[in-house]
């Protein structure tokens, strides 16, 4: 923003999310020239009593050098820290927010700003239990005072509820206070470079257009793996589990981008309309197409009940009932404490009809792999002739590895991009209320069955591929393991 001033208010400033994600993202934006002292100020707000310097000391260690700006790191760091002020107060008492508003107003009128309309961005790095009271406080005391050109926006993080009913209740409470255009529901997977590339890859290439359907695609897998457990977050995690933590939001959002029809334009509403249609076309999940697991040792954490059935792993098959995807299994798989850390999309094509080389069977099917992380890449597994005198087939790859191809390009962090989008008022990469509702509709019946222990988690060894039953399920619905995977 060139004219006017922007206040970024980090609520829950002393917490984990703020420390690890929000402030580092703001810092990197600062290094890249976006958040500068002449028109932006940052306010931390939380219950703990501490000074501005205490907060600065607390986050200091997490502000790693921004790639490409290593030389000026020290200078940037001290300038950035000076932008931050801290205000302490409770989340449900008027006085706290009255004094927060006073501080913001004082900044808006100070000589530090260039004048102009006031913009206020509230980042909820908070437990969702306080969302309703904090929203009410902001609405009562902290809205922008500028009628023209000013705005107030809020960024909220998941979990948005535990199931359809609680999510709808939360949406209604917040919806009574803010318009949809003021609410930015973050799903940080939508900020990842390769997730953003899906739209371009699918709709910017002639190559994929005729192939992207049930006639050619055998299955789609969307996989999230972490090689560590719930360390330190056991209490939170046990109340939610991997389906609410990863599948219902991150993987489902990715699925929407893989499966949706071409939007009318790049207008955020057009894109979100198409994503919504995918969610609304989903068939109910059936028990036979679900495997949930819990890694051995998960319950050693003293904050986790000994009879917990909470899954730390899940494979769930989703099916989209429309003309494009009839019969194609979308296999969502996520797990903690597995053998590696990665997230990827695998689009597996059907066998070649009338295959004279018998290659699909011998060397494997064509597969398009989009690796979201680590080492972003897009590669296509193809059958080629093995070089040499014999006519033998092998599988090889057309490979776009970002590290090699875009060596000097800095790939922005998801949170940086999403905060910047919020400042610019672009909601494309945020979840709309109706999408959220549809996402909960898909998973709520299954989640309730798991909560009632009608579906039980099977155990798996930490550091493994997860329960063997999950591989069997993927195979059963048509995924063929390729070599080297
Ligand atoms: C968060 C989940 O939303 O995403 C965490 O709550 C998970 O459990 C994290 O570890 C993974 O994010 P990323 O960007 O590291 O893949």
157 lines ligand 1 (CB under 6 A): no
pLDDT reported for residue 333: 98
pLDDT of 94 strictly over 50: yes
Strands 367-373 and 377-385: antiparallel
Look over the chain and give the mean of its residue pLDDT values, rounded to a whole number: 94
Find the 246 Cα to ligand 1 centroid distance in Å: 7
Neighbouring residues of 12: CB distance < 8 A, sequence distance ≥ 6: 18, 45, 46, 124, 125, 126, 127
Residue closest by Cα to atom 5 of ligand 1? 245
Residue 232: predicted pLDDT: 78
pTM of the model: 0.95
Strands 342-349 and 217-225: antiparallel
> What confidence score (pLDDT) does residue 204 get?
96
Confidence of residue 2 (pLDDT cuts 50, 70, 90): low
Task: Taking residues 107-111, report their average pLDDT.
Answer: 85
Q: What's the pLDDT tens digit per position in 404-429?
A: 899 888 888 999 999 999 999 999 99
pLDDT digits (tens, 9 = 90+) for 148-206: 889 999 999 998 999 999 999 999 999 999 999 999 999 999 999 999 999 999 999 99
> How large is the average pLDDT for residues 356-382?
92
Whole-number pLDDT of residue 240: 94
- Provide the total of helices (H) and of strands (E) in the chain, helices listed first: 16, 15
pLDDT at 36: 81
Q: What Å distances lie between residue 412 and 32, 63, 361, CA to CA?
A: 10, 15, 40
**Radius of gyration (Cα) for the chain, nearest Å?**
24
Asked if 413 contacts 25 with a C-beta cutoff of 8 angstroms, the reply is yes
- For residue 43, list its beta bridge partners: 9, 85
**377 CB burial (10 A radius; 0-12, 13-18, 19+):** buried
Residue-wise pLDDT for 269-321, tens only, equals: 999 999 999 999 999 999 999 999 999 999 998 889 999 999 999 999 999 99
Asked if pLDDT for residue 1 goes beyond 50, the answer is: no
Selecting among 30, 41, 188, 250, the annotated active-site residue is 250
Q: Using the mean position of ligand 1's atoms as its centre, give its distance from the Cα of residue 263 in Å.
A: 28
- Choose the residue to mutate in 22, 156, 233, 250 for probing ligand 1, maximizing ligand atoms within 8 Å of C-beta: 250
pLDDT band at 363 (very low <50, low <70, confident <90, very high): confident
Beta bridge partners of 44: 10, 86
| Minimum-distance ligand 1 atom for the alpha carbon of 343 | 16
pLDDT (mean) for 331-345: 97
* Whole-number Å distance between alpha carbons of 238 and 445: 18
**150 C-alpha to ligand 1 centroid (Å):** 33
Q: Ligand 1 atom closest to Cα of 245?
A: 6
Q: Does residue 326 surpass a pLDDT of 90?
A: yes
**Is any atom of ligand 1 closer than 6 Å to the C-beta of 376?**
no
Tell me the CB-side half-sphere exposure of residue 271, using CA atoms within 13 A.
21
**Token pair recorded at residue 374:** 């680590």
Protein residue whose Cα sits closest to atom 13 of ligand 1 = 189
Q: Does ligand 1 have an atom closer than 6 angstroms to the CB of 187?
A: no
- Give the model's pLDDT for residue 473: 97
- pLDDT at position 70 over 70: yes
* Close Cβ partners of 375 (under 8 Å, ≥ 6 residues apart): 401, 402, 403
Question: Residue with structure tokens 């049930």?
Answer: 214
Confidence of residue 484 (pLDDT cuts 50, 70, 90): very low
Contact present, 472 and 354 (Cβ < 8 Å): no
Confidence class for position 397, pLDDT limits 50, 70, 90: very high
Number of C-alpha atoms within 13 angstroms, CB side, residue 352? 16
């Amino acid at each position: 923003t060139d004219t006017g001033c922007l206040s970024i208010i980090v609520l829950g400033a002393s917490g984990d999310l703020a420390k690890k994600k929000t402030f580092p993202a703001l810092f990197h934006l600062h290094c890249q020239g976006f958040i500068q002292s002449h028109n932006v100020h940052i306010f931390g707000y939380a219950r703990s009593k501490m000074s501005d310097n205490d907060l600065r000391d607390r986050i200091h260690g997490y502000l790693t050098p921004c790639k490409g700006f290593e030389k000026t790191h020290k200078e940037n760091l001290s300038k950035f820290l000076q932008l931050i002020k801290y205000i302490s107060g409770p989340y449900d008492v008027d006085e706290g927010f009255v004094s927060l508003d006073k501080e913001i107003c004082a900044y808006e009128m100070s000589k530090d700003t260039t004048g102009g309309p006031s913009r206020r961005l509230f980042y909820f790095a908070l437990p969702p239990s306080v969302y309703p009271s904090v929203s009410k406080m902001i609405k009562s005391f902290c809205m922008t005072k500028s009628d023209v050109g000013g705005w107030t926006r809020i960024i909220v993080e998941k979990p948005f509820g535990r199931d359809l009913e609680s999510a709808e209740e939360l949406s209604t409470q917040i919806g009574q206070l803010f318009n949809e255009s003021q609410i930015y529901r973050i799903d940080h997977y939508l900020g990842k470079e390769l997730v953003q590339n899906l739209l371009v890859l699918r709709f910017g290439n002639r190559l994929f257009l005729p192939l992207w359907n049930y006639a050619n695609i055998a299955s789609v897998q969307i996989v999230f793996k972490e090689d560590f457990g719930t360390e330190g977050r056991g209490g939170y995690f046990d109340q939610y589990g991997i389906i609410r933590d990863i599948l219902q939001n991150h993987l489902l959002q990715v699925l929407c981008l893989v499966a949706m029809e071409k939007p009318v334009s790049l207008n955020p509403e057009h894109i979100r309309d198409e994503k919504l249609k995918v969610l609304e076309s989903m068939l109910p999940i059936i028990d036979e197409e679900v495997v949930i697991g819990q890694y051995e040792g998960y319950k050693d954490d003293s904050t986790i009940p000994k009879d917990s059935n909470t899954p730390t792993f899940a494979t769930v098959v989703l099916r989209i009932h429309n003309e494009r995807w009839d019969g194609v299994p979308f296999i969502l798989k996520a797990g903690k404490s597995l053998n590696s850390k990665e997230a990827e999309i695998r689009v597996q094509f059907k066998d070649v009809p009338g295959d004279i080389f018998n290659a699909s069977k011998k060397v494997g099917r064509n597969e398009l792999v989009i690796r979201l992380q680590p080492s972003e890449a897009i590669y296509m597994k193809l059958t080629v002739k093995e070089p040499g005198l014999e006519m033998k087939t092998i599988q090889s790859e057309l490979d776009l590895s970002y590290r090699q191809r875009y060596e000097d390009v800095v790939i922005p962090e998801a949170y940086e991009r999403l905060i910047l989008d919020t400042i610019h008022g672009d909601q494309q990469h945020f979840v709309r209320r109706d999408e959220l509702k549809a996402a909960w509709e898909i998973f709520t019946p299954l989640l309730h069955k798991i909560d009632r222990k009608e579906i039980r988690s099977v155990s798996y060894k930490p550091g493994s591929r997860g329960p063997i039953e999950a591989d069997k399920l993927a195979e059963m619905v048509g995924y063929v393991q390729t070599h080297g995977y």
